[in-house]
Amino acid sequence: MSSRTLLQHYSTYLTDYEKQEVLDYENVFYINISKSAPKRDSSFDNDASEYRCELQDHLAYRYEILSALGRGSFGQVYKCFDHKEHRLVAVKILLNKKRLFKQGLIERKILETLQAKDPGDTKNIVRILASHLFRCHLLLVFELLSLNLY
């Protein structure tokens, strides 16, 4: 649905911050309307500059956080459901740091280049599906694989 339709019908499920933020999105694919939905208007990051994720919360009004898959020096990875494409994905949320944002853009570009050189998906390279900037964090969305690539 459009962000304006969401505000008309579901604004009680949004924080004051989200009521403004959602207007930056043309379409909304997911929000948590359960009674346990997170209600925070600020402080999206912890002291380590990691995005504070809660299960069933949304990322970019599209991805539903299902479980943690791992964490590393660049950020965290979560198993999510993509409500736009109706599939499971892995979302890497980079730390809210300028140098890691730049590094994430380089990672995205490398993966897109490798993907373009392997249109038949025969070289076993993880497929990047999308990327988003959400609350000062770069999100890199990957196909969900069964093994930890670390």
Residue 136 lies in a domain: yes
Residue 22 lies in a domain: no
83 — pLDDT class (breaks 50, 70, 90): very high
Q: What confidence tens digit (pLDDT) does each residue in 90-147 have?
A: 999 999 999 999 999 999 999 999 999 998 989 888 899 999 999 999 999 999 987 6
pLDDT at 38 over 60: no
What's the Cα-to-Cα distance from 72 to each of 15, 78, 102, 148, rounded to whole Å? 30, 12, 17, 12
pLDDT recorded at residue 150 = 56
**Pairing mode of beta strands 87-94, 75-82:** antiparallel
Residue 97 domain flag: yes
92: helix, strand or coil: strand
80 in any annotated domain: yes
Span 39-48, pLDDT tens digits = 555 678 888 8
Q: Is residue 45 part of a domain?
A: no
Based on the structure, what is the number of domains in the chain?
1
Phi, psi of 149 (to 5 degrees): -75, -15
pLDDT grade, residue 50 (50/70/90)?
A: confident
Q: What CATH number has the domain bearing residue 123?
A: 3.30.200.20
3-state percent breakdown (helix, strand, coil) of the chain, nearest 5: 25, 30, 45
Domain span at 100: 50-143
